[in-house]
Chains A and B, each alone.
Chain A
Amino acid sequence: MKLYIKNYSSYRSDREDVDIRQLLKQKYKLDTRRQDDFIHLALYGAQMLKERTPIREDDELYVTSGYGDVDVIQRTNTYVNKEKEPLKLFDFINLLGNTTSYYVAKSLNIRGKNIFQISDNFTYINSLVSLYASIKNSQKDAILCAIDLASTPTEVSKRVLGVEKDVKIVSSVNYQKFSLDAEDAIAEVEFDLKIYSQDEIHAMMQNGRKAVFNAVRCAKAKNSEDAVLFETMASDALNRALAKNEDMLYIDCYEEKYKILKLKSLK
């Protein structure tokens, strides 16, 4: 399967220290009321993408995440289950995964398909698979938002990530706009459904291609580039290579099984 990348946007909390809410209000003139940090993070990435590439009304939108909006679950759990207080109306609405994608779609003036989905493993690659299948059918372009918020306390997120307690997790949002059409594309990405073994991965690396591993998940592999974790970091790795106009082989790992993404710069 091959998709062309028209453009991208990227933010990571360990690389930039910005007041996202203020930026959304002042720079992008968006109404931030009744929205959580998770939604603001998604909106910030969307606005940066909008600055870099034309968005069409019928573009499809996919939003994926490792575990979604922890803050709103924590808040409603405290109010309703612990303090026996009534549920706040906008907490109820924000509990739904597609609330985030609604606000993103609205801020981009998209009226096409809009899906919020989570895969337990290979989250980003699985989302690419469904996005590819969809636009293969519709012949439209699609935007993929990959988002993870490191809420406080981060231990909550770490408990569902399958990691050691000392692993550093960060907030991140990464977008790409994909198409089946190569015109004006800055890169192409190839992927498949195949699960690779460690031996196959090592063989693949013999050809000298630059490989980037998911450092925390691929603990046994070498050449890890990043010692922090967020579930959708494949998307961030892609964007980092795009920023440098580099080719890349991204290797993700889960329970000793590997999946790959091949990025080829067209610039």
Chain B
Amino acid sequence: MKFTRFLLKRLAFFLVTMWLVVTLTFVLIRCLPGSPFNSGKMVHPQILNNLNTKYGLDKPFYEQYLRYIKNLVKGDLGISMIYKNRSVASIIKRAFPVSLDLGVRALVLAAFVGLLLGLMSTLYSNKALDHIISVTIMIAVSMPGFVAGALFQYFLCYRLSVLIQSITGVRYSVFPNTGWEGFRSTVAPTMALAAGVMGMVAKMLRTSMKDVLDQNYIVMSRAKGLNKREVVLRHALKNALLPLLSISGPLVSSIIMGSFVIENIFSIPGLGRYFVSSVQDKDYTMVLGLAVFSVFIVVLINTITDILYAVVDPRVCIESKDRLKT
């Protein structure tokens, strides 16, 4: 019963947010100077007129808005004004899974490595290794995403292929410089994207581990005679992983921001480029479609995180308003 109430509240929130975002975006892009039809080449004024009529841009503002809302309710996001006759939905449907794939791979890798680093840091705390790790994390967190991308592409893809050619005489790209076909082309972009994020994960884990290790029941286990390793692995880890969920928001948005850049550098056919290019090209339907889609995804992720939080930590009440979200 409580759960259904939660879901219904979420749904209401989703609908209101969607309406707000669509209206705001609609108004904002129309305030921009320029038109979708002049973005490549100057067009003959009569043809421009014909184009505006075809896409309904000569109708009054509110009429266009209402038409869009009507179609949106029916589930029709319209066709792109730049990519002729291609429906916005089909573009998103094709491109999003690629971005999702890249993002998930990077998240998993970042979590894995971040966990490893965080663990080693706690186990060997205040020894030399810990300091080395802290420094590495600092550097990883301080490098803009495109630097990691450019460096990985240059060394892992290009340099490696040159090396192989000088050894074997055959020109062979172990990791292709661009594209998203087959496992090998996913390696470099995943590593580049994960690099920026794993710092965040490792840092978070280190702090939460320290907190957990100070807890009573840990001290008890130590007192009982379990050695440090076992204590960390068996008891502390589970509880330390929990706060990771709380940074899931910034984590996911880091991955998303980072993936735009990585997709650009490695020519990955994902959704990232459309976010920037559709606004620059004034592709009104595409921008609105992307905004609608993003709201949907963000609300979905937030809901899943909230549910996970409640499932994992029974102390948290899913409806509690005072639950401190960081």
Question: A and B, one complex?
Answer: no
Chain A residues near B (Cβ < 8 Å): none
